[in-house]
A and B are shown apart, each in its own frame.
Chain A
């Protein structure tokens, strides 16, 4: 059974700081790893998707890496802004008993302060 863990659970940083969010997973037999953003009480917005054959993906100030062998992924946010404040969730995609199932971590709640 896949388990996904995210560290830290919460993070508060001053504006402009670079930061790293961590995600670990127990079963390396994944098809991809996705990072999502969730604003309070809202749905999920996909940020980056890394295929199992890839090492990293970049979008603007965001960079996500994937190391399947160690069961780890990181999300790097450069030059953080107050608008980046949200909960960040990572999820691994695996095929289990039929269907493509996303297994989520519990998220990192990020607050970027002025």
Chain B
């Protein structure tokens, strides 16, 4: 039990729609990262937020966007869904953005299926 929760557990959308995924981090964790995991692959870094500001982004188009709120919750928004967006979306929280041993705690993920 990592203390990181995600909702919903599963979601089915159609191509072109928009989706919002939610994550609740551990209390006091200022950093949240989002990852996309396609079937049979390792997770891919989407972006990271630190104290409500984006401070790192992977190779994902602008239709992937996010928000982080003061209450340690965050959102991942995906516009104009494509079939390839079907994946498990994972959020991970950590105490601070500085490296040096801070473990990232992962939530259980949201399984998104785009038809």
Contact = CB atoms under 8 A, between A and B. Distances in A.
Interface of A: 4, 31-32, 34, 36, 41-46, 49, 51, 89, 91, 93, 95-107
A32 B99 contact: yes
Contacts of B100: 31-32, 51
A44 B103 CA distance: 12
A100 B47 contact: no
Chain B: interface size category: 35 or more
B48 A91 contact: no
A65 to B, nearest CB: 17
B45 interface: yes
B57 A49 contact: no
Nearest to A34: B103
Given A41-B111, A49-B101, A51-B100, A99 B48 contact: yes
Contacts, number: 85
Contacts of B102: 100
B115 to A, nearest CB: 19
Instruction: Give the most central of A34, A36, A104: most B CB within 10 Å.
Output: A104
Interface in B34-59: 35, 40-45, 47-48, 50, 55-58
A49 B99 CA distance: 12
A97 B42 contact: no
A18 to B, nearest CB: 25
Interface of B: 2, 6, 31, 33, 35, 40-45, 47-48, 50, 55-58, 88, 90, 92, 94, 97-109, 111
A46 B103 contact: yes
Nearest to A49: B103
B101 A51 contact: yes
A25 to B, nearest CB: 12
Contacts of A49: 101, 103
Given A32-B101, A51-B100, A100-B97, A91 B42 contact: yes
11 contacts: A42-B109, A43-B2, A43-B107, A46-B103, A91-B43, A99-B50, A99-B56, A99-B57, A100-B56, A102-B33, A104-B35
Given A43-B2, A91-B43, A100-B56, 4 more contacts: A34-B103, A43-B108, A100-B33, A102-B43
